Amino acid sequence: MKIKRMDAIFFIILAIITIISIVFILNESHRAFIENIASIPPFQDIASGLLITFLVCMIGNLLPIPTPYTFVVCFSSLPFLQTNLFIPVIVALIASLGSLVGEL
């Protein structure tokens, strides 16, 4: 079976994402940044929170190692709980859509 160019590019991108994820897990300052991402001003609006949730859940399904991307759903909907209780449902739907796209 011959590996096509597109498959090779996909494997390279997948390896890069895996290495970056492992570095984020092992480095304490990166982990603290991810846990406090909801307190950074650019991420306090709903559009960027939904985009980050979609991307993280999609990439979480592409990785060959188990990824706790549900934390991103909790952290990205945290600033909006006081505004409207329906917003975490929207964040969960976007996370499910990102997971679906990652599975495809």
Q: Is the confidence at residue 10, as pLDDT, over 70?
A: yes
CA 103 to the chain's CA centroid: 14
Q: Residues 15-61: pLDDT tens digits? A: 888 888 788 778 887 777 767 766 777 667 778 778 888 888 888 78
Q: What percent of the chain has pLDDT over 90?
A: 0
Cβ neighbours of residue 57 closer than 8 Å, sequence gap 6 or more: 69, 72, 73, 94, 95, 96, 97, 98, 99, 102
pLDDT of residue 92: 82
pTM of the model: 0.58
Half-sphere exposure of residue 29, counting CA atoms within 13 Å on the CB side?
0
| Residue 34: both structure tokens together | 């991810």
pLDDT of residue 38: 64
Residue spans of the domains in the chain: they are 5-103
DSSP 8-class letter at 1: -
